[in-house]
Every structure is written in structure tokens, then in C-alpha cells.
Structure 1
Amino acid sequence: FLDYTQAALFTDALDDYEGRTAGEVIAAQLRAHPSAKIYLTGHSLGGAGAVLAAARLADMGVSPAQLEVVTFGAPAVGNAVFTRAYREKFTLHRVVMKGDPMKDLLSAPLGFRQFGERIAWQPARSVAAFPHAMIAYVDAAIRQLYDSAGTNSFLFLAGQPNRTSGQPVYVAPIAADVDGALTADAPYMKAVLRDALYARNAETVFSAAGGGLSEEGLLTGLDAHLAAAKEAGAAQLYAYRISGAKVRDNRETYRLTLERAVYDTEGNLMAASSRSATTGALTPIETVLYLFTQD
């Protein structure tokens, strides 16, 4: 872990910074700006590296108030002596998924100890991934985000600088028809799809009315949506439908389909597409976002 951290931040001198390493530059900047704060974060090995980087920066004179570390499924990096030496030198938040064995991996053979605030997360019922997998932590983080701010908030990806401000696009309510085991996931799947649409085009207008894309591929309440689209100045009307069913004889594996229909403001169907993928390598929420990016 220390070799990893040293190689990343404290080995190679930077020509543009008078031959100092990246870690030395960061430490100098923080010492020069005592009101500034740096956040160090990582998953698994990355989390171990974040803790050791904070310890090294503390040794270089950076104050505890400037160092905040958030790790996800990270192993302990030192023994009791290390813990006593650094537990007051920076703030550490440890996010640990239920069932993730990594937090205790080195405790017994090496006597390593964890410290800092432990934050327990629970994997969703529909997530089949090994609890230590990064995709499980990302999935839980997305849920935490929307749980705190609401599934109608534009949060995920909304800060991307590549959003366009082109012609307004009207989006009908996103429909979802999923297995019972995915019912709890549906609001999150809709939320990330809404956010992805907003990230693609900042002028996206979302319908406040009812009606969505039916199983037959028809947009219910089309006339009302067309009127709303015209009022919003949109040239096109989009409708999406998410469907999902469990794959037989596979533990918590689902096939998800994302359907899209595009209408002009006269109600003529201009384009339609349907893409599907199975979960496993990704969680259901992540799979919907993946399908959107493929369209």
C-alpha cells in the first residue's frame, strides 16, 4: 500500500514545479492556504492509498482541519501504533458494505487496525455483485444521493460541462414495467435516466402530466403531451419505457430493456429504438444508464 502511494504522489519530480513531487506541491499549497481543504477518496486499494496519502501530508505539516478522507471497502493500513499516531491528524470516514470482507482482511495476520468513523451500507436486494465490488458501492452511492435529495432532483451527472443548450426537447413521463424484485429500483432507474437526459441537453423539459410509453409502444395521452411540447417550444417529443424481468435460474440477474420513441410536434413517429442487457457486470440502476449511453 505504501509503495502504491509513494509511486503515485511522492516519487516522480515534476518539471513544472521546480522538481518537486506532486505530494510536495499539494502539501505546499495547503500550507500556504490554511482555509483550503483536500478530500482524498478511493475504493479498496485506492482507499488504503488515500489514508496513507493523508498521513504523509500530515507529516509534511498540513493541518488536520485540511485533510478529509472517505474510503469505500478499504483495508486497514497500519497497526495500533499507526492508529494512535494518525487518528487525530485527519478526518476519516470509512464506508463499508455489509458482507464486504476487505475491512478485516489484514487484521488477524498482521494486527492491522481500522480507525475513523465507520459508515455501514446495505447492498440492494437486486444487486448480485460481490459486496466488495466497486459497482456495488457505486450503486449504493447513487441510492444515497437520491434518498437525501429526492428522485426528482437533477444531481447525477448534471454538472458535466458538455451539456448543450440547443433546442428544447420535451420528455414524457418515463414508464417502468419491472418484476416485483425490481420495484424498489424503479424510482432510481427513472431518476438516473432523467438526469442523463438533462446532462445531454440542459434545455430538456420534463412533463408534469401523466401518461407514458405503453407496452405496445404507444404514448398514452399523446395529444396532451403534444400541446405541452409546443408550448415549451420543443421540436421533438421523447418517450422512454424501462422494462425488466428476472433471468430464470440466475441469482439476482435481470434482463433490462430501454425503449425510446421520438415524435414530432404533429404526433408523427420519427424514430424508435429498443436496447437490452442483463445485469451482473452492472447493477440494474447502472444498466439503465449504460443502455442510455448506447442509444
Structure 2
Amino acid sequence: MKRLLALSFSLLLVVMPVRGLAGPQEEYETAYKLYIAAGASAAAYHDRAGLLAARYLARDGWRIRHYIQPDGQSGARFVLAEKDLSDKRQLAVLAIVGTETAGDIKMNLQVEKVPFPGVTAGEADSAPAVIPPDSPKVHKGFHRFTQSGLAAILRDSGNLEDSAFLPDLLQIIKTHQLLITGHSLGGAAATLAAAGLISAGAAPEQLEVITFGAPAVGNAAFAQKYEPQLRLTRVVMRGDPVTGVLQTLVGGYKQFGREIIWSDPPGDNPHELLGYVDAAIRNYYDKRQAAGIAPLPPKTAASDTQRSAYIAPLQNNLPAAFQNDFRYMQEALWDEYRQILPESAFASGAADWKQEAAKLGYRWLIVPEVRAIRLQQAKNTYYVTLQQTIYDARTGNAVDTAIFSTATSQLTPLEAFIHSFRGLSVHTAEWL
């Protein structure tokens, strides 16, 4: 589950969506939020991918805080990220980690239902033994996991008194729109956290929940009570068994909210977060293209700066099995170049790029190429390689070549390609 892309998160933040428009624009806004949620869910993990995701979020202007359980205890861990958007809105994203420890697994197995009176820790366990059948009830383990979040503290804080999560969250709710998200157990906790905040008096219009591959959390009475109040979007990969397991094996649980079904998971396990992240990337670029967002910079004369670059189309040397990934790789690479080389423009077609770059006055010509090499000793594993060659546009001579590779053993091909951008970004920024 922690085999994630994550690093691509900021690439899709180049253009902020416009609110209030119907049709393709509205679908684009939804796709943008789904990617935000998927990327933040990846960043919630304290592993290499999570660290990379947090780094790119910070680069894009997100203020990030990591919260953990005190003294290494089991329970909810999460990321709280804040950003001031271009339309003067303030947005906060609370991303809750999914199943990660043996303690989390034990909570998953506590399938009996308990009443859901609110967010006060311990209320469910002290409820009456006889509960009316039409009362809202929720999964005991999910409820305990969510409640444990109230004890979380700020990671790397030297002052425990100033590191508690709950005061920070209450302050955020006063001034920000709050998007709560997570995958699997993290998604279940996101739903319960939002319902608890509403029960405690938070304005429903300030809250939104997006979950990925999350199980049902409560009975029909719980769904009936909170569905009118809670803006919940459930993203489900076709074939993901977790989203229906409690209804099938235990009974008495009911899903609610808007359901978005994604088909064709990239791997063998439709529940893995890496598949949801991969699908979120594709969905974002599909909807962005349909809405006509982020057109390529025009091919006009460059300003006379050392960093002005003319970028050729990505050269495709992928095997047949990866051809469906190519268009998304091209889009992601263009977004990365927009970040690191704002003085750049993009060539199109099969023109003489060296001649065109010189004619338009660019200092450099960059020719990127992607290929994938299968590893003989590993089943279905490839090295996805991004090669970048830089030419002096004035002389036509090659002045730098660099190669960046990532294996697909823990990533999808698209994710592996985007993972290589970290090396590309550092190398290009330093060289130019």
C-alpha cells in the first residue's frame, strides 16, 4: 500500500481550477480535487514516497504538519496541509494514513458496532448496553482508530504542550475549507472524523470528504443521519473487495455518498493506493485536456536569458505494453519543465528543432526521451528511463546528457517515470 508515486503531486498544481462552471470545467475541478486528495493520502505515509510528496507539496506553497501518536502507540497518523489559493480561499487538507501497523490490523478486525454520539473519546464504550436498532452505529475498530487521532501530537516538536492536534484542527476549521481524505482505513477514519465534527457543531458546508477504496463505516441509521449533511465522495476501483467486505461478510453496514468508479487498475491488486494515485493522474489530465486548461506556451521569440529553453516533444521509445502511458508521461513532463524552466516554450511536430530554437532566439534546446528496459532477473519489472540532452541553440552542439531511471517493482510505469523528475529537476536547475 505504501508503494506510491507521491512525487508527482505538485506537477498537477500548475493551474488552479475555476469554480462555479458546468460541463468540462466542473469535471476538471472535480478531477483536480481527487488528485489533491490522492496525493495527500500518499504524503501521509512516513516512507520515502511520503517524504518526497511532502517535499513537493512544500515547494508548491503548502504548509505541512505531520502528526503522530505519542510514544510510538498505534492509532491515527496524518498530514495537515494548508494553502492560500489564488481566488483568496484558504484550503486545508487532512490526510489520514491507512492500515500500517499490527495495531491498525487489530482495529480493522473489531467489526462489532458501537453507537456514534459524537467526537468525545470514550463515549461509545460507555453507552447503554441496549441500543435501539434505529440508532446510528459505527464499526468499533474504525471508531477507536479515529478517536486516537485526538491524542496525536506534532512530529518533531520540542514542546509537547504546543504540539497537540485538536487545538490546531479547531483553529483551522474557523478560517479554512477542510478536505478530509484517506485510503482504506484512512478513508473510513476520514468519514467518521467529518461526521464527528458535524456532531460537535462544525458547519457542514466547510467540510468535504474524499475516500479511496474505503469500507462502509456504519449502519443504515448512520448513513441516513449524515448523508444529507456530509459532502462525501467515495472513489472505488472496479474489483476492489474492501469497499463491500463488511456488507457481505458481517452485514448491517451501508455505504453512502457520491460514488465514482474507476476501471482497469494498473496492477494485480485493485485495492492498492498506488493504483488509485495512478488513476487520479490519468483522470486529471483527461479532464484538463477536455476543459482546454493549461495550453502550451506560444512559440514566440524568447527573452534573452540564460535559462530560456526550447523543449522538443518527448521521444517515445517505450515497448508496446506501455504505449497507453505515453500521453500522460508527456503531460507530466511538460508540467515539470513549466516548474523548473518558466522561460521555456514547447515545440510541436517533427520540425528541425535546432533550427527553430535558434530562429526564435532561445538559449538552449532540450530533447527528452523515454524508454523502458525489462530486467531479466525480475518478473514484469522494467527500468523506466528518462534521458535529457541539452544543446546550445546558438551552435547546435550537445553540451549535456543525463539519464534518470526508476524501476517499476514498486511503482506503475507512469509513476516510475514521474519519480525520475526529482533527479531531472535538480540536475537541470543546477546546470542551467
TM superposition score normalised by structure 1? 0.78
Change (3 A) 1:111 1:67: same
The alignment partner of 1:285 has SS state of helix
2:194 maps to 1:57: no
Change (3 A) 1:63 1:231: same
CA-CA distance at 1:174 after TM superposition: 0.9
List alignment gaps of at least 5 residues for structure 1.
31-35, 156-164, 212-220
Rounded to whole Å, the distance in 1 between the matches of 2:143 and 2:151 is: 10
Amino acid at match of 1:120: I
Amino acid at match of 1:22: D
TM superposition score normalised by structure 2? 0.55
- Aligned-residue Cα RMSD (Å) equals 3.1
Partner of 2:227: 87
CA contact (8 A) 1:178 1:243 kept: yes
Change (3 A) 1:168 1:153: farther
2:384 maps to 1:256: yes
Q: Which moved more, 1:243-252 or 1:267-276?
A: 243-252
2:145 maps to 1:4: yes
Partner of 1:150: 289
Change (3 A) 1:11 1:135: closer
Partner of 1:218: none
Highest RCO, 1 vs 2 (Cα 8 Å, sep ≥ 6): 2
Change (3 A) 1:230 1:118: same
Match among 236, 245, 268 for residue 105 of structure 1: 245
Match among 234, 254, 259 for residue 118 of structure 1: 259
Amino acid at match of 1:261: T
What are the within-5 Å matches in structure 2 for residues 1-295 of structure 1?
1-9=142-150, 21-27=167-173, 29=174, 37-107=177-247, 108-109=249-250, 111-124=252-265, 127-150=266-289, 154=294, 167-210=307-350, 221=352, 225-244=353-372, 253-265=381-393, 266-295=395-424
Rounded to whole Å, the distance in 1 between the matches of 2:361 and 2:147 is: 55
Rounded to whole Å, the distance in 2 between the matches of 1:113 and 1:70 is: 17
The alignment partner of 1:105 has SS state of helix
Task: Write out per-residue CA displacement over residues 120-157 of structure 1, whole angstroms, 9 at most, x where no aligned residue.
Answer: 00135xx22521111110110010011111299549xx
CA contact (8 A) 1:10 1:22 kept: no
Amino acid at match of 2:264: P
Rounded to whole Å, the distance in 1 between the matches of 2:386 and 2:171 is: 47
Amino acid at match of 2:416: T
CA contact (8 A) 1:146 1:153 kept: no
Aligned residues: 266
Task: Write out per-residue CA displacement over residues 64-98 of structure 1, whole angstroms, 9 at most, x where no aligned residue.
Answer: 33322111111111122322221112111100001
Rounded to whole Å, the distance in 1 between the matches of 2:317 and 2:361 is: 30
CA-CA distance at 1:292 after TM superposition: 2.7
CA contact (8 A) 1:257 1:276 kept: yes
The alignment partner of 1:82 has SS state of helix
Change (3 A) 1:257 1:11: closer
Rounded to whole Å, the distance in 2 between the matches of 1:11 and 1:237 is: 50
Change (3 A) 1:111 1:253: farther
Partner of 2:4: none
Q: Alignment identity in percent?
A: 35
